[in-house]
Amino acid sequence: MKFRSSQLLNGCVAIIGVALCVPGCSGSAGGGGANGGAAGDTSDGGSGGTGAGGTSTGAKCETPGVLTPGPAPLVRLSASEYRNTLRDLFPKMAMAAVDLTIPAEVQSEGFLNTAESQAPSPNVIEAFSTNAQSVAKLAAADLAKILPCTAANATDEATCGPKFIAAFGKQAFRRPLSADETTRFGSFLKDASAKWGFPVAVRMVTEAFLQAPSFLYRLETAGKTVSGTKAIALDNYEVASRLSYLLTDSMPDADLMSAADAGKLATVDGVEEHARRLLKTDQARKAVASFHAQWLRFEKMDKLTKAADLYPAFNATMAANLKDATTRYVDRIFWDEGHTVQSLLTDNHAYVNKTLAPLYGASSTSTDLVWSEVNASQRSGILTQAGFMAGLAHERNDAPVLRGIFVLDRLLCQPPPSPPATVNTVLPPLTSASKQTTRQQLEASHSTPMCASCHKSIDGIGFGFGNFDALGQWRTKEFGLDVDASGEFVSTDDLDGKFDGAADMGKKMAASPQVRACVASQWLGYALAVRRDDLDACMVSPLVKALESAKGDLRELVVALVKSDAFRHRPVAQ
């Protein structure tokens, strides 16, 4: 029997019927690889957007000291949050045995959790319905694994049912059920039990909970307006959910829910206490790694392909090692080594084994990736990791345009506009017979006024990576010609000027307030599930100050973020 239990609860249909189930809810139910093109490819180009403040991350807050709430769109659980929440909601069940259907997610500025990209579709609705049926069926197979009480007979069932509704509902919705919800779910359980028996009724109610908007979305409709402001302070349970999904990628744990019950998350100190507790967990390491993978576009290292005639040593093992080494590098910098923005951009280490050692001019006999010091004159932080450079490259040659756009968008928060649709960005492949380096080819192609206006800033940065080929290996010549890796920052807030190669560029960026502001903006946008254009300087500037006070410590940036007004408040509906 296939139950559509979400349709039985007072006509409440998950996703489509959010407005029917959540009156007064503000906001909207919103919901190209680097290796395939030729050297002129701009498929990774910017959206035409701007950084925090609408123009750049250097914008100043005009109303310091005034409480500024962050944007609060209607946010659906991301794919990873959904999986993890189901795992933690049913800790006694073998959730790995459930074949969940997860629709493909849409990136927005590289991130997968942005509310505006979460528009519901028939496929999404059907997937959640199918998943709810599968999970509920498994739960009903052994009620002892989900019920908070014994239900051995009809008398037990009559008393256990309401306890199940209250306990499971609170976990699923990440807050206590309202009186109306308790009545509706309770009546549904009682009626279904009378018709089909208690186990089937529990199955149907479980399925209904798993399709309810309060489970699938992070609804924020409580809280009180702060006197004299246009901000609403999130209630304790809403803060708990924001905190937990940012730092653990899942629902609040028992300690966090207990703190919400006790009203301890209404204060900055209470939020900080639990933020620091959660940051010590393994789940936090995974959650932070997920942010890094999206911010730094690690998907560019997926499905790497390189030309066999130019890179005969490249194979599937090397591709996997390149991504693993880069991922582990960033994790280690954040948690164990340096911890700072400066370290992320200047550290001269890499994870190396016998497969990757030749790319770094090193030697190794280990099959395991080992944290190793590399040439500081050649390597400087994340931007010169071999895997990272290989991801931002083509099959045959490096990609200065992709590399330049990455820096502008992800580290300076100044994404360039996409190229006009009429422009052909495909260039002929270079060979030794071309008598040109990649830089020379692009300089000729981008010399026209229509191209030069944008490519002056893109190429000025991208050419600085010229010493790294399509595998991220250091080189001084390309097709027998000398590589020119000089570069220049143009039209930035505080970096304008020339530099010599990627290592020099990394050092200059490490000292840049614009870079620190951009990093803070990336974290805040991700935490609130919004685009950077939805942020303003008054939301970002307190985080930048905290980052500077902590001498660039990225862990302290995260703590400052969850303590901020923007994170703990939402705007009054207009």
Using the 3D structure, point to which of 218, 243, 261 is the last residue of a domain: 218
Domain coverage including residue 247: 231-281
pLDDT along the chain (574 residues), means of 10: 39 35 34 37 44 52 91 96 97 90 91 92 94 95 94 93 97 98 97 96 97 97 94 98 98 98 98 98 98 98 95 97 98 96 97 97 96 96 98 95 97 90 75 85 79 82 97 95 96 96 97 97 98 96 96 97 98 87
Do both 22 and 82 map to the same domain?
A: yes
Q: Which two tokens mark 78?
A: 């991301």
Residues 94 and 235 in one domain: no
Give me the helices (H) in 212-315, please. 213-216, 236-247, 254-261, 268-278, 282-295
Q: Look at residue 208 in the predicted model and tell me its pLDDT.
A: 97
- Written as one string, the DSSP assignment of 342-370 is HHHHH--EEEE-TTTGGGGT-----SS-E
In this prediction, residue 17 carries a pLDDT of 34
Is residue 85 located within the same domain as residue 213? yes
Residue 119 is predicted with a pLDDT of 87
178 and 254 belong to one structural domain: no
Enumerate residues 6+ apart whose C-beta is below 8 A from 311: 470, 471
Same domain, 104 and 18: yes
Given this model, what pLDDT does residue 161 score? Answer: 96
Is 348 a domain residue? no
3-state secondary structure 26-65: CCCCCCCCCCCCCCCCCCCCCCCCCCCCCCCCCCCCCCCC
What's the pLDDT score for residue 8?
37
Distance between CA 207 and CA 197 in Å, rounded? 16
The pLDDT value given to residue 7: 38
Q: Provide the pLDDT for residue 30.
A: 29
Q: Across-strand partners of 233?
A: 224, 569
> Under a CB-based contact definition with an 8 Å cutoff, are residues 391 and 301 in contact?
yes
- pLDDT for 360: 97
Residue 145, in any domain of the structure: yes
Q: Of the candidates 487, 430, 437, 482, which has an alpha carbon nearest to the alpha carbon of residue 458?
A: 487
Query: Which of the listed residues 164, 195, 218 is the one where a domain comes to its end?
Result: 218
Rounded Cα distance, 532 and 187, in Å: 45
Quick check: is 124 in a domain?
yes
* Domain assignment present for 140: yes
Question: Residue 53's pLDDT is what?
Answer: 37
Give residue 228's pLDDT. 92
CA distance 89 to 112: 22
Integer Cα distance of 369 and 372 in angstroms: 9
In whole angstroms, what is the distance from residue 345 CA to residue 442 CA?
26
Residue 365 located in a structural domain: no
Say if residue 213 is in the same domain as residue 245: no
Domains identified in the chain, total number: 2
Tell me if residue 393 falls in helix, strand or coil. Answer: strand
Query: What pLDDT, on the 0 to 100 scale, is given for residue 398?
Result: 95
Residues 203, 260, single domain; the answer is no
Q: Tell me: do 188 and 101 sit in the same domain.
A: yes
Residue 58: per-residue pLDDT:
61
Q: Is residue 243 part of a domain?
A: yes
**Residue 305: its H or E element:** none
Do 100 and 155 lie in one domain? The reply is yes
In a domain, 79, yes or no: yes
Residues 19 and 129 in one domain: yes
Query: Rounded to an integer, what distance in angstroms lies between the CA atom of residue 562 and that of residue 70?
Result: 12
20 belongs to a structural domain: yes
Q: Kindly state whether residues 126 and 207 are assigned to the same domain.
A: yes
- Indicate whether 170 and 245 sit together in one domain: no
